[in-house]
Amino acid sequence: MPGANQKRPDHHRLSRQDAKTLGLSALGGALEFYDFVIFVFFATVVGTLFFPADMPDWLRQVQTFGIFAAGYIARPLGGIVMAHFGDLLGRKKMFMMSILLMAVPTLAMGLMPTYETIGIAAPIVLLFLRMLQGAAIGGEAPGAWVFVTEHVPKSRISFACGTLSAGLVSGILIGSLIATAINAIFTSSEIHDYAWRIPFIIGGIFGFITMYLRRWLHETPVFTEMQEREALAEELPLKTLLKSHWGSILVSMAVTWLLTAAVVVTLLMTPTLLQKLAGLDPQTSLMANSLAIVGVIIGCLVAGLLADRFGNGPILALFSIGLGVSYWVFYNTMLVDTTLLYPLYCLVGFFVGLTGVVPAVAVKSFPAPIRFTGLSFSYNVAYAIFGGATPMVVSLWMTQHASAPAYYVAAVCAVGVITSLAVMRYRMKLELEVQAAI
């Protein structure tokens, strides 16, 4: 790939600057995901405040979660647009833009007037702000993965991606803990009157703080060298991507499908399923879920370390098999006996740590001039398709078989194993094409 050669020495330890870059990127990712998910923890309160009081409860709930889903709809467009300019103007510029685009609407949500004050404008403005959040999150994760992997040594790319993924998952955990704290500190009437605003205001303020801290980050060496050698994409990055890189797109979309199954089914859907099918109370199921998320954070770091040592393909296969087997055992055991709820769910969470390897597989699949666009397009389109369809597919399947979630996860994990074999098969070919660019 002309102009993609990078002269950086591949030392085996993270330098102080590498650690700083990785830490600020992970912190920003955690806060952005916190901002994105905090909405769902207060969806019921938001629904009562931003829609007419005489609206039926079921319709209000549909409207509220429709606004939440709008964030996912905006992800692909926002991600592709920011990736386009990231490949042409610089990774850092878009890295800064994504967190600004998340901080502003989050803070605005915490400060904006409700339906009682401004009427129908309230849900319309809320929808607009939610779509801005979706556009931001569409650029943040791919942008962070690209930004960091173009900074750290090549021998530490998988660990860097695992650390970033752990940061993103931490954002979900922070949101859950803050929502729990708000409900413990304030009464229902206080939450309805004003306390629901606190998590949004906190998220907005910390977003601006993180954006300020990111000012001290430097543009990636890879992009800087491409600028100096005038080796940036000569045509629209998306056009080049769709014309010449379908193999990389399919691999990246396949591993993203695996990621969505791991996150959506095992982390987001399972607590409700446990309450419905296993008879667990909400507090117990949510506590187990929080412990499982801690397991994910650990798993992301371990998977990244192992992938740097043994290769992404073998570790992706190992964790895919581990997730398929552990969730099968966990889910079917919970249907009859919940005694081992905590340890089994934590084990599942650990293998969900495969989400730490997924971005490393994807980011290594694209050459530098279109890397941001390639990763963002594959990740966001696949996430919109599979992430959006998974709850519906699993729910419909459950009408025929109670173990449908376990079957679905096992099937997608099989796709993960097949993809990992493809990664191992073409590992040398891909590395020869893009090794110099990373």
Q: Please give the distance of CA 104 from its chain centroid, rounded to a whole number.
A: 20
pLDDT in the model for residue 229:
55
Highest mean pLDDT out of 112-116, 184-188, 407-411: 407-411
Average pLDDT for residues 37-52, to the nearest whole number? 80
Q: What is the band of 112 on the pLDDT scale with cuts at 50, 70, 90?
A: very high
Name residue, tokens 């979660």: 65
Query: What tens digit of pLDDT does each residue of 387-396 get?
Result: 767 877 888 8
Question: Tokens 């009408």 map to which residue?
Answer: 399
Which is higher by pLDDT, 217 or 309? 309
Tell me, what's the pLDDT at 402? 87
Q: What pLDDT was estimated at residue 148?
A: 80
Is residue 317's pLDDT more than 90? yes
Q: Which of 138-152, 179-193, 232-246 has the highest mean pLDDT?
A: 179-193
**Kind plus residue range of the DSSP H or E element containing 353:** none
Per-residue confidence at 293, pLDDT binned at 50, 70, 90? very high
Least confident stretch, 58-62, 81-85, 194-198, 428-432: 428-432
Lowest mean pLDDT across 111-115, 159-163, 211-215, 254-258: 211-215
pLDDT: which is higher, 251 or 85: 251
Q: Which of 45-54, 185-194, 342-351, 423-432 has the lowest mean pLDDT?
A: 423-432
CA atoms of 437 and 365, how far apart (whole Å): 11
Distant-in-sequence, close-in-space partners of 316: CB < 8 Å, separation ≥ 6: 255, 307, 354, 357, 358, 361, 416, 419, 420, 423
The region of weakest confidence among 47-61, 300-314, 358-372, 399-413 is 47-61
203 residue type, one letter:
G
Residue with tokens 């969900």: 352
Helix axes 16-41, 91-111, angle to 10 degrees: 30
pLDDT tens-digit series, residues 373-389 = 888 888 888 887 887 67
Q: Alpha-carbon distance 406 to 410, whole Å?
A: 6
Q: What are phi and psi of 342, to 5 degrees?
A: -65, -55
User: Do 258 and 416 meet the contact criterion of CB atoms below 8 Å apart?
Assistant: yes
Is the pTM above the cut of 0.75? Answer: yes
Tell me, what's the pLDDT at 326? Answer: 97
> Which domains can be identified in the chain, with CATH numbers?
9-232 (1.20.1250.20), 234-438 (1.20.1250.20)
Show the tokens assigned to 201: 């205001």
